[in-house]
Amino acid sequence: MRGFKDSAAPEKVPFWLDPKKRAILFQCITFCMVGLLAYYLISNTLINLKKQNIATGFSFLHKESSFEIGESLIPYSAANTYARALLVGTLNTIKVAFIGVVITIILGTFIGVARLSTNWLLSKLAAIYIEVMQDIPILLQLFFWYAIFYETLPSPQQALNPGAGIYMSNRGVAFTIPEGHPAHKYMLLAFLVGCVIVYVMRRWARKRQEKTGQFFPTFRVGIAIIFSLPFVTWLAFGTPMKMDAPKFIGFNFQGGLMVSPEFIALLMGLVLYTAAFVAEVVRAGIQSVSKGQREAAMAIGLRPTLVLNLVILPQALRVIVPPLTSQMLNLTKNSSLAVAIGYPDFVSVANTTINQTGQSIEGVALIMAVYLFFSLSTSAFMNWYNKRVALVER
């Protein structure tokens, strides 16, 4: 038996048959190839840039931009730097994305619920809406809404006046808004304070319920606090009622809140398109909660609102939120199509910058960086959320 000892010992494996060493070799080859490709592209680019006398680096950001931007949330003129122009673009992107997301969620939820309605007519209408909107490219929809705006609406002289204080023309929609007053600042502050109070109250109410079993109507009290605090502030400032109505002066409206046709077309296109996808997400989420859950909740005597809040929504949201977030991200990414209809979003401003400075690499890199920042921060949020709501099983 001893004679077999040597032959039983493992044979020495040549390195090309050893999976571990082979993996290292394979990875080295892959990295080399990627590196070589990168080197090839970069060296070509550097040679080309030198030949065409294109500057490199981000120093252009501090130069004067010398172009105007149609709408801006912060003061901006052509004398400002490119950096500020790009900031204006970013803010415009955030503005349309934020407003778009809020309206989309509301509209999408309505359509999703309508799709599940027992009312045949409503359900079929919702189905048609979802199918049609999903199947038409977003860019085409943007062009369509923009065309409707400048072709069918009259010039500012004959602006339509569908309701008190609203004027619609092919230059945009002018709204009447309350005139600026120091009270507004404090009302906003009161609103924020109200939110904080409600948050603290909710935690307190939950703790108390866990301890003593006593229920506190957080929702109703919360709504009351959030709305009454700004209202009281408004009263305290002597109820400033003066309104800032748009007036037709020269060639266009002055005063009030003017919303550009580009912004409205972009917002409409994004909202109507994304709402169709959100509706599908919401429908799937609601359908994912089985009927037994509702019946069980009612059997232990929960009231309908509590059934919804404690049983149905937490389970449906677990299914809804991840795809919903990706739809919101899609909306943000699709807002980059603003460049096609002339809304000054980030891509549009960056495009102008590229055309003026010729520094296309930096420009495109900036575009990618900004959107990557949006999407990476969203996925960071998603990971956090998924961890929070992850199903805790026995």
Partner 1 sequence: MEQTVQTEELRPPVTHIGVIGWARHNLFNGVFNSILTIVTLFFLWKVVPPIFRWAFIDSAWTTTGQACRKAAGACWSVIFMNYRFILFGFYPYEQQWRPFLAMMILFSLLFYSRDRTHWKKPLAYAWIIGLFTMGLLMKGGILGLPSVESTQWGGLPLTLLLAVFGLTAAYPLGVILALGRRSKMSGVRVLSIVYIELIRGVPLISLLFMSAIIFPLFLPEGVTFNKILRAQAAIILFTAAYIAEVVRGGLQAMSRGQYEAAESIGLNYYLTMRLVILPQALKIVIPPTVSILISAFKDTSLVVIIALFELLKTTQSVLSNPEWMGFSREAYVFVAILYFLGCFSMSNYSRKLERELSRRD
Rounded to a whole number of angstroms, the minimum distance from the CB of residue 322 to partner 1 is 13
Q: Which is nearer to partner 1, 192 or 376 (CB)?
A: 376
Among residues 360, 382, 385, 389, which is the contact residue for partner 1, using CB under 8 A? Answer: 360
Rounded to a whole number of angstroms, the minimum distance from the CB of residue 66 to partner 1 is 21
Which residues inside 262-281 make contact with partner 1, applying CB under 8 A?
none
Give the residue from 319, 315, 283, 284 showing the smallest Cα distance to 297.
Answer: 315
Could you tell me the maximum CA-CA distance found in the chain, to the nearest angstrom?
110
Give the residue from 246, 267, 252, 99 showing the smallest Cα distance to 166.
Answer: 246
- Both tokens of residue 318? 């677990």
Rounded to a whole number of angstroms, the minimum distance from the CB of residue 249 to partner 1 is 28
- Stretch touching partner 1 by CB under 8 A, among 28-36, 154-162, 238-246, 299-307: 28-36
Alpha carbon distance 46, 385 (integer Å) = 44
Q: Which is nearer to partner 1, 36 or 257 (CB)?
A: 36
Residue indicated by tokens 């209202």: 231
Among residues 1, 121, 300, 392, which is the contact residue for partner 1, using CB under 8 A? Answer: 121
Among residues 69, 173, 337, 349, which is the contact residue for partner 1, using CB under 8 A? Answer: 337
For 249-316, give the DSSP string.
Answer: ETTEEESSEEE-HHHHHHHHHHHHHHHHHHHHHHHHHHHHS-HHHHHHHHHTT--HHHIIIIIIHHHH
Contact between 119 and partner 1 by CB under 8 A: the answer reads yes
Rounded to a whole number of angstroms, the minimum distance from the CB of residue 273 to partner 1 is 10
Contact between 140 and partner 1 by CB under 8 A: the answer reads yes
Give the residue from 318, 322, 326, 325 showing the smallest Cα distance to 389.
Answer: 318
Contact between 34 and partner 1 by CB under 8 A: the answer reads yes
Contact between 317 and partner 1 by CB under 8 A: the answer reads no
Tell me 55's DSSP state.
Answer: -
Rounded to a whole number of angstroms, the minimum distance from the CB of residue 48 to partner 1 is 5
Rounded to a whole number of angstroms, the minimum distance from the CB of residue 368 to partner 1 is 5
Instruction: Confirm if 335 and 100 have CB atoms less than 8 A apart.
Output: yes
- Both tokens of residue 196? 């904080």
Residues 6+ apart with CB under 8 A from 320: 281, 282, 284, 285
Element counts in the chain: helices (H) and strands (E):
14, 8
The C-alpha angle 352, 76, 360, rounded to 5 degrees, equals 20
Instruction: Confirm if 320 and 385 have CB atoms less than 8 A apart.
Output: no
Contact between 45 and partner 1 by CB under 8 A: the answer reads yes
Contact between 243 and partner 1 by CB under 8 A: the answer reads no
Alpha carbon distance 347, 358 (integer Å) = 15
Rounded to a whole number of angstroms, the minimum distance from the CB of residue 366 to partner 1 is 10
Contact between 258 and partner 1 by CB under 8 A: the answer reads no
Count of residues making up the chain:
394
Q: Which is nearer to partner 1, 139 or 225 (CB)?
A: 139
Among residues 13, 36, 73, 132, which is the contact residue for partner 1, using CB under 8 A? Answer: 132
Among residues 59, 66, 134, 209, which is the contact residue for partner 1, using CB under 8 A? Answer: 134
Among residues 4, 10, 14, 151, which is the contact residue for partner 1, using CB under 8 A? Answer: 151
Instruction: Confirm if 159 and 169 have CB atoms less than 8 A apart.
Output: yes
Rounded to a whole number of angstroms, the minimum distance from the CB of residue 215 to partner 1 is 28
Contact between 364 and partner 1 by CB under 8 A: the answer reads yes
Contact between 284 and partner 1 by CB under 8 A: the answer reads no
Which residues inside 170-209 make contact with partner 1, applying CB under 8 A?
none
- Binding positions for partner 1, rule: CB under 8 A: 23, 26-27, 30-31, 34, 41, 44-45, 47-49, 51, 117-122, 125, 131-132, 134-141, 143-144, 147-148, 151-152, 333-334, 336-337, 339-340, 347, 351, 354, 360-361, 363-364, 367-368, 371-372, 374-376
